[in-house]
Protein backbone atom coordinates (compact mmCIF):
# COMPACT_ATOMS: atom_id res chain seq x y z
CA UNK A 1 0.00 0.00 0.00
CA UNK A 2 1.30 3.42 -0.94
CA UNK A 3 1.98 5.61 2.07
CA UNK A 4 -0.63 8.39 2.41
CA UNK A 5 2.04 11.09 2.81
CA UNK A 6 3.79 9.92 -0.34
CA UNK A 7 0.51 9.86 -2.24
CA UNK A 8 -0.07 13.51 -1.35
CA UNK A 9 3.13 14.62 -3.12
CA UNK A 10 3.17 12.28 -6.11
CA UNK A 11 2.18 13.69 -9.50
CA UNK A 12 2.11 12.37 -13.03
CA UNK A 13 5.61 12.84 -14.49
CA UNK A 14 4.13 13.87 -17.83
CA UNK A 15 1.53 16.51 -17.01
CA UNK A 16 2.27 17.13 -13.30
CA UNK A 17 -1.34 16.51 -12.24
CA UNK A 18 -2.13 14.66 -9.00
CA UNK A 19 -2.57 10.88 -8.94
CA UNK A 20 -4.99 8.84 -6.86
CA UNK A 21 -5.20 5.19 -5.92
CA UNK A 22 -6.95 3.09 -8.54
CA UNK A 23 -10.34 1.81 -7.49
CA UNK A 24 -11.06 -1.92 -7.29
CA UNK A 25 -13.33 -1.54 -10.34
CA UNK A 26 -10.58 0.12 -12.37
CA UNK A 27 -8.13 -2.63 -11.43
CA UNK A 28 -10.65 -5.36 -12.27
CA UNK A 29 -11.34 -3.87 -15.70
CA UNK A 30 -7.64 -3.45 -16.43
CA UNK A 31 -6.82 -6.97 -15.25
CA UNK A 32 -9.54 -8.41 -17.49
CA UNK A 33 -7.93 -6.62 -20.44
CA UNK A 34 -4.50 -7.92 -19.40
CA UNK A 35 -5.83 -11.49 -19.17
CA UNK A 36 -7.32 -11.15 -22.66
CA UNK A 37 -3.92 -10.06 -24.01
CA UNK A 38 -2.78 -7.07 -26.00
CA UNK A 39 -2.22 -4.58 -23.16
CA UNK A 40 1.05 -2.68 -23.49
CA UNK A 41 2.80 0.04 -21.56
CA UNK A 42 3.28 3.41 -23.19
CA UNK A 43 6.81 2.26 -23.96
CA UNK A 44 5.43 -0.69 -25.92
CA UNK A 45 6.26 -3.51 -23.49
CA UNK A 46 3.53 -6.15 -23.10
CA UNK A 47 1.77 -6.25 -19.72
CA UNK A 48 1.38 -9.88 -18.71
CA UNK A 49 1.00 -9.72 -14.93
CA UNK A 50 -2.13 -8.55 -13.13
CA UNK A 51 -1.91 -5.15 -11.47
CA UNK A 52 -2.75 -5.31 -7.77
CA UNK A 53 -2.30 -1.61 -7.07
CA UNK A 54 -1.90 1.47 -9.21
CA UNK A 55 -2.05 5.23 -9.32
CA UNK A 56 -4.38 6.92 -11.79
CA UNK A 57 -3.61 10.27 -13.38
CA UNK A 58 -6.15 13.04 -12.68
CA UNK A 59 -7.69 12.81 -16.17
CA UNK A 60 -8.13 9.04 -15.79
CA UNK A 61 -6.23 8.21 -18.98
CA UNK A 62 -3.22 6.41 -17.50
CA UNK A 63 -2.36 4.17 -14.59
CA UNK A 64 1.10 3.94 -13.05
CA UNK A 65 1.59 0.50 -11.50
CA UNK A 66 2.72 0.00 -7.92
CA UNK A 67 5.11 -2.93 -7.56
CA UNK A 68 6.14 -4.19 -4.12
CA UNK A 69 4.72 -1.01 -2.55
CA UNK A 70 6.84 1.20 -4.85
CA UNK A 71 5.05 3.46 -7.36
CA UNK A 72 6.61 3.15 -10.82
CA UNK A 73 6.26 6.75 -11.95
CA UNK A 74 7.88 6.43 -15.38
CA UNK A 75 6.01 7.64 -18.47
CA UNK A 76 7.02 4.57 -20.46
CA UNK A 77 5.62 2.25 -17.73
CA UNK A 78 2.17 3.89 -17.70
CA UNK A 79 -0.75 1.79 -18.88
CA UNK A 80 -3.59 3.36 -20.86
CA UNK A 81 -7.00 3.05 -19.26
- How do residues 13-27 score in pLDDT, each as one tens digit? 999 999 999 999 999
Measured distance CA(81)–CA(71) in Å, rounded: 17
DSSP track, 31-78: HHHHHHS--BBTTS-B--SPPS-EEEETTSSEEEEEETTEE---GGG-
pTM (predicted TM-score): 0.94
pLDDT band at 3 (very low <50, low <70, confident <90, very high): confident
Residues in contact with 56: Cβ distance below 8 Å, sequence separation at least 6, in sequence order: 19, 20, 21, 22, 26, 62, 63, 64, 81
pLDDT per position as a tens digit, 37-67? 989 999 999 999 999 999 999 999 999 999 9
Amino acid sequence: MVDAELLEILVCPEDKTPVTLASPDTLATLNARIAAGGVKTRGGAPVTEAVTEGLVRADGKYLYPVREDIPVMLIDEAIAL
